[in-house]
Amino acid sequence: MMEWWFVSDLHGRPHRYKRLFELLEKQRPSLILMGGDLLPHEMARWSPEIPDFLRGYLIPALHALKKQMQGDYPRILLIPGNDDPAHENQTFLEMEKERLVEWVNMKTVEVDDFLITGYAYVPPTPFLRKDWEKYDVSRYVDPGCIHPYEGYRTADPDYDPAYDTIARDLERLAQGLEMNRSIFLMHSPPYQSRLDRAALDGVMVDHVPLDVHVGSIAIQRFITERQPLLTLHGHIHESSALTGSWQDTIGRTHLFSAAWDGPELALVRFSPHCPEQALRELH
Protein backbone atom coordinates (compact mmCIF):
# COMPACT_ATOMS: atom_id res chain seq x y z
CA MET A 1 0.00 0.00 0.00
CA MET A 2 1.19 3.51 -0.83
CA GLU A 3 2.60 5.27 2.24
CA TRP A 4 3.15 9.00 2.61
CA TRP A 5 4.81 10.76 5.55
CA PHE A 6 3.86 14.02 7.23
CA VAL A 7 6.02 16.08 9.61
CA SER A 8 5.70 19.61 10.93
CA ASP A 9 7.22 22.08 13.39
CA LEU A 10 10.75 20.69 13.29
CA HIS A 11 12.00 24.19 14.21
CA GLY A 12 15.48 23.66 12.87
CA ARG A 13 16.40 20.98 15.39
CA PRO A 14 19.13 18.91 13.75
CA HIS A 15 18.38 15.77 15.77
CA ARG A 16 14.84 15.70 14.37
CA TYR A 17 16.04 16.15 10.80
CA LYS A 18 18.78 13.58 11.31
CA ARG A 19 16.25 11.04 12.56
CA LEU A 20 13.90 11.81 9.67
CA PHE A 21 16.67 11.32 7.12
CA GLU A 22 17.76 8.05 8.75
CA LEU A 23 14.20 6.73 8.51
CA LEU A 24 13.91 7.90 4.91
CA GLU A 25 17.03 6.00 3.89
CA LYS A 26 15.79 2.79 5.48
CA GLN A 27 12.09 2.84 4.60
CA ARG A 28 11.95 4.96 1.41
CA PRO A 29 8.43 6.43 1.21
CA SER A 30 7.55 8.15 -2.04
CA LEU A 31 6.33 11.45 -0.57
CA ILE A 32 7.14 13.67 2.43
CA LEU A 33 4.84 16.54 3.40
CA MET A 34 6.35 19.23 5.63
CA GLY A 35 3.85 21.49 7.38
CA GLY A 36 5.85 24.58 8.28
CA ASP A 37 7.99 25.97 11.10
CA LEU A 38 10.96 24.22 9.54
CA LEU A 39 13.69 26.69 10.54
CA PRO A 40 15.06 27.68 13.95
CA HIS A 41 13.22 30.35 15.91
CA GLU A 42 14.88 33.75 15.51
CA MET A 43 15.76 33.81 19.23
CA ALA A 44 17.34 30.33 19.23
CA ARG A 45 20.40 29.86 17.03
CA TRP A 46 20.72 26.17 16.39
CA SER A 47 24.54 26.21 16.35
CA PRO A 48 26.97 28.93 17.48
CA GLU A 49 29.44 27.75 14.83
CA ILE A 50 27.03 27.66 11.87
CA PRO A 51 24.21 30.17 12.38
CA ASP A 52 22.74 29.70 8.88
CA PHE A 53 20.64 26.57 9.26
CA LEU A 54 19.46 26.35 5.65
CA ARG A 55 22.83 26.75 3.94
CA GLY A 56 24.96 25.37 6.74
CA TYR A 57 22.94 22.23 7.44
CA LEU A 58 19.69 21.52 5.61
CA ILE A 59 20.72 22.06 1.99
CA PRO A 60 23.95 20.01 2.30
CA ALA A 61 22.05 17.29 4.18
CA LEU A 62 19.40 17.06 1.45
CA HIS A 63 22.07 16.90 -1.27
CA ALA A 64 23.78 14.07 0.62
CA LEU A 65 20.46 12.26 1.08
CA LYS A 66 19.62 12.59 -2.60
CA LYS A 67 23.02 11.20 -3.59
CA GLN A 68 22.58 8.28 -1.21
CA MET A 69 18.98 7.44 -2.21
CA GLN A 70 19.34 8.26 -5.93
CA GLY A 71 16.17 7.12 -7.72
CA ASP A 72 14.39 6.50 -4.41
CA TYR A 73 14.74 10.12 -3.28
CA PRO A 74 11.17 11.14 -2.35
CA ARG A 75 9.18 14.15 -3.44
CA ILE A 76 9.35 16.62 -0.55
CA LEU A 77 6.48 19.10 -0.53
CA LEU A 78 6.69 21.93 1.98
CA ILE A 79 5.13 25.12 3.23
CA PRO A 80 6.55 27.65 5.70
CA GLY A 81 5.08 28.37 9.12
CA ASN A 82 4.69 31.51 11.17
CA ASP A 83 8.18 31.10 12.68
CA ASP A 84 9.84 30.84 9.25
CA PRO A 85 11.08 34.21 7.91
CA ALA A 86 9.73 35.17 4.50
CA HIS A 87 13.12 36.50 3.44
CA GLU A 88 14.12 32.83 3.01
CA ASN A 89 11.40 32.19 0.41
CA GLN A 90 13.90 32.67 -2.41
CA THR A 91 16.24 30.12 -0.87
CA PHE A 92 13.46 27.53 -0.82
CA LEU A 93 12.70 28.35 -4.47
CA GLU A 94 16.38 27.81 -5.30
CA MET A 95 16.17 24.45 -3.51
CA GLU A 96 13.18 23.66 -5.71
CA LYS A 97 15.23 24.40 -8.84
CA GLU A 98 17.81 21.89 -7.58
CA ARG A 99 14.97 19.36 -7.16
CA LEU A 100 15.54 18.99 -3.45
CA VAL A 101 12.06 20.16 -2.37
CA GLU A 102 8.84 21.57 -3.85
CA TRP A 103 7.42 24.83 -2.49
CA VAL A 104 3.62 24.42 -2.49
CA ASN A 105 2.43 27.42 -0.50
CA MET A 106 -0.61 28.97 -2.24
CA LYS A 107 -0.50 26.40 -5.05
CA THR A 108 -1.83 22.94 -5.92
CA VAL A 109 0.21 20.02 -7.26
CA GLU A 110 -0.90 16.56 -8.35
CA VAL A 111 0.61 13.44 -6.80
CA ASP A 112 -0.63 9.97 -7.79
CA ASP A 113 -4.05 11.30 -8.79
CA PHE A 114 -4.43 13.31 -5.56
CA LEU A 115 -4.40 17.10 -5.39
CA ILE A 116 -2.22 18.67 -2.68
CA THR A 117 -2.70 22.34 -1.83
CA GLY A 118 -0.39 24.24 0.51
CA TYR A 119 -1.43 27.06 2.82
CA ALA A 120 0.94 28.61 5.37
CA TYR A 121 -1.00 31.49 6.92
CA VAL A 122 -2.25 31.46 10.51
CA PRO A 123 -4.66 33.80 12.33
CA PRO A 124 -3.14 36.70 14.31
CA THR A 125 -0.94 35.69 17.24
CA PRO A 126 0.66 37.57 20.16
CA PHE A 127 4.02 37.32 18.36
CA LEU A 128 5.61 40.26 16.54
CA ARG A 129 6.70 38.59 13.28
CA LYS A 130 3.81 38.77 10.82
CA ASP A 131 5.22 37.23 7.62
CA TRP A 132 2.71 34.35 7.67
CA GLU A 133 -0.22 35.85 9.58
CA LYS A 134 -3.49 37.11 8.13
CA TYR A 135 -6.86 38.09 9.50
CA ASP A 136 -9.03 35.00 9.82
CA VAL A 137 -12.61 35.85 8.79
CA SER A 138 -12.69 39.53 9.75
CA ARG A 139 -10.49 42.30 11.17
CA TYR A 140 -11.13 41.05 14.70
CA VAL A 141 -8.18 39.76 16.74
CA ASP A 142 -8.33 37.87 20.03
CA PRO A 143 -7.30 39.62 23.25
CA GLY A 144 -3.53 39.79 23.53
CA CYS A 145 -2.95 39.26 19.80
CA ILE A 146 -1.32 41.75 17.43
CA HIS A 147 -2.88 42.86 14.15
CA PRO A 148 -1.26 41.53 10.95
CA TYR A 149 -0.31 45.03 9.77
CA GLU A 150 1.48 45.74 13.05
CA GLY A 151 4.60 43.96 14.29
CA TYR A 152 7.23 43.50 11.59
CA ARG A 153 7.94 41.51 8.42
CA THR A 154 11.16 40.19 6.95
CA ALA A 155 9.87 40.72 3.38
CA ASP A 156 7.21 42.89 1.77
CA PRO A 157 3.89 41.07 1.25
CA ASP A 158 2.22 40.86 -2.17
CA TYR A 159 -1.20 41.54 -0.60
CA ASP A 160 -2.72 44.15 1.72
CA PRO A 161 -2.21 42.89 5.29
CA ALA A 162 -4.79 45.36 6.60
CA TYR A 163 -7.63 43.66 4.74
CA ASP A 164 -6.75 40.24 3.30
CA THR A 165 -8.15 37.18 5.10
CA ILE A 166 -7.61 33.45 5.35
CA ALA A 167 -11.25 32.92 4.38
CA ARG A 168 -10.76 34.76 1.08
CA ASP A 169 -7.56 32.83 0.31
CA LEU A 170 -9.19 29.46 0.83
CA GLU A 171 -12.07 30.30 -1.48
CA ARG A 172 -9.59 31.24 -4.21
CA LEU A 173 -7.47 28.13 -3.68
CA ALA A 174 -10.49 25.80 -3.78
CA GLN A 175 -11.82 26.98 -7.12
CA GLY A 176 -12.08 24.10 -9.54
CA LEU A 177 -10.68 21.47 -7.17
CA GLU A 178 -12.29 18.05 -6.78
CA MET A 179 -12.61 17.80 -3.01
CA ASN A 180 -12.88 14.02 -2.90
CA ARG A 181 -9.22 13.80 -4.00
CA SER A 182 -7.94 17.00 -2.36
CA ILE A 183 -5.43 17.16 0.50
CA PHE A 184 -4.70 20.48 2.18
CA LEU A 185 -1.30 21.01 3.82
CA MET A 186 -1.93 23.84 6.31
CA HIS A 187 0.13 25.23 9.15
CA SER A 188 -2.86 26.32 11.23
CA PRO A 189 -5.35 23.79 12.55
CA PRO A 190 -9.10 24.49 12.47
CA TYR A 191 -10.78 26.25 15.38
CA GLN A 192 -12.37 24.21 18.20
CA SER A 193 -10.83 20.92 17.16
CA ARG A 194 -8.62 18.41 18.93
CA LEU A 195 -5.68 19.95 17.09
CA ASP A 196 -5.84 23.60 18.21
CA ARG A 197 -5.94 23.36 22.02
CA ALA A 198 -3.37 25.69 23.59
CA ALA A 199 -2.14 25.73 27.21
CA LEU A 200 -3.98 28.95 28.06
CA ASP A 201 -6.18 27.74 30.89
CA GLY A 202 -6.79 30.55 33.37
CA VAL A 203 -4.73 33.08 31.39
CA MET A 204 -6.26 36.57 31.16
CA VAL A 205 -5.38 39.74 29.26
CA ASP A 206 -6.86 42.98 30.58
CA HIS A 207 -9.20 40.91 32.77
CA VAL A 208 -10.47 38.98 29.71
CA PRO A 209 -10.01 35.17 29.75
CA LEU A 210 -8.25 33.85 26.67
CA ASP A 211 -9.83 31.26 24.40
CA VAL A 212 -7.92 27.99 24.77
CA HIS A 213 -8.73 27.14 21.13
CA VAL A 214 -6.46 29.16 18.85
CA GLY A 215 -7.01 27.63 15.41
CA SER A 216 -8.60 29.22 12.36
CA ILE A 217 -12.35 29.74 12.11
CA ALA A 218 -11.97 30.14 8.34
CA ILE A 219 -10.24 26.75 8.09
CA GLN A 220 -12.90 25.15 10.28
CA ARG A 221 -15.69 26.53 8.08
CA PHE A 222 -13.84 25.61 4.90
CA ILE A 223 -13.45 21.98 5.96
CA THR A 224 -17.08 21.78 7.16
CA GLU A 225 -18.48 23.20 3.93
CA ARG A 226 -16.08 21.76 1.33
CA GLN A 227 -15.23 18.36 2.88
CA PRO A 228 -11.81 17.69 1.35
CA LEU A 229 -10.45 14.18 1.67
CA LEU A 230 -7.75 15.06 4.19
CA THR A 231 -6.17 18.07 5.91
CA LEU A 232 -2.73 18.20 7.56
CA HIS A 233 -1.83 20.69 10.30
CA GLY A 234 0.81 21.81 12.82
CA HIS A 235 1.39 25.03 14.80
CA ILE A 236 -0.01 24.13 18.25
CA HIS A 237 2.63 21.89 19.77
CA GLU A 238 0.90 20.99 23.03
CA SER A 239 -2.54 20.24 21.61
CA SER A 240 -2.24 16.45 21.34
CA ALA A 241 -0.97 16.23 24.92
CA LEU A 242 -3.93 18.29 26.15
CA THR A 243 -6.66 16.63 24.07
CA GLY A 244 -5.17 13.14 23.91
CA SER A 245 -5.39 13.03 20.13
CA TRP A 246 -3.28 14.05 17.13
CA GLN A 247 -6.19 13.45 14.75
CA ASP A 248 -9.79 14.49 14.32
CA THR A 249 -12.62 14.40 11.81
CA ILE A 250 -15.03 17.01 10.51
CA GLY A 251 -17.77 15.24 8.61
CA ARG A 252 -16.01 12.96 6.11
CA THR A 253 -12.70 14.84 6.31
CA HIS A 254 -9.79 13.35 8.25
CA LEU A 255 -7.51 15.82 10.07
CA PHE A 256 -3.96 15.04 11.24
CA SER A 257 -1.44 17.10 13.21
CA ALA A 258 2.31 16.47 13.38
CA ALA A 259 3.00 19.26 15.88
CA TRP A 260 4.54 17.92 19.08
CA ASP A 261 5.85 19.54 22.27
CA GLY A 262 8.38 16.84 23.16
CA PRO A 263 11.97 16.52 21.94
CA GLU A 264 11.20 13.63 19.57
CA LEU A 265 10.40 13.68 15.87
CA ALA A 266 6.65 13.20 15.42
CA LEU A 267 6.02 11.29 12.20
CA VAL A 268 2.54 10.67 10.76
CA ARG A 269 2.35 7.77 8.31
CA PHE A 270 -0.73 7.45 6.13
CA SER A 271 -2.12 6.31 2.84
CA PRO A 272 -4.46 8.74 1.07
CA HIS A 273 -6.46 5.68 0.03
CA CYS A 274 -7.06 4.70 3.69
CA PRO A 275 -6.61 7.79 5.90
CA GLU A 276 -8.46 6.10 8.75
CA GLN A 277 -5.47 3.76 9.18
CA ALA A 278 -2.95 6.56 9.77
CA LEU A 279 -0.37 6.19 12.56
CA ARG A 280 1.73 8.69 14.47
CA GLU A 281 5.14 7.62 15.75
CA LEU A 282 7.56 9.44 18.04
CA HIS A 283 11.23 8.87 17.22
What is the domain extent for residue 31? Answer: 4-282
User: How many structural domains are present in the chain?
Assistant: 1
Q: Which residues of 178-196 are buried (b: 16+ CB within 10 A; e: fewer)?
A: ebebbbbbbbbbbbebbbb
CATH number at residue 235: 3.60.21.10
Burial of 234 (0-12, 13-18, 19+ CB in 10 A): buried
Query: Cα(195)–Cα(190) distance, rounded to whole angstroms?
Result: 7
pLDDT tens string for the chain (283 positions)? Answer: 689 999 999 999 999 999 999 999 999 999 999 999 999 987 655 555 556 899 999 999 999 999 999 999 999 999 999 999 999 999 999 999 999 999 999 999 999 999 999 999 999 999 999 999 999 999 999 999 999 999 999 999 999 999 999 999 999 999 999 999 999 999 999 999 999 999 999 999 989 999 999 999 999 999 999 999 999 999 999 999 999 999 999 999 999 999 999 999 999 999 999 999 999 999 9
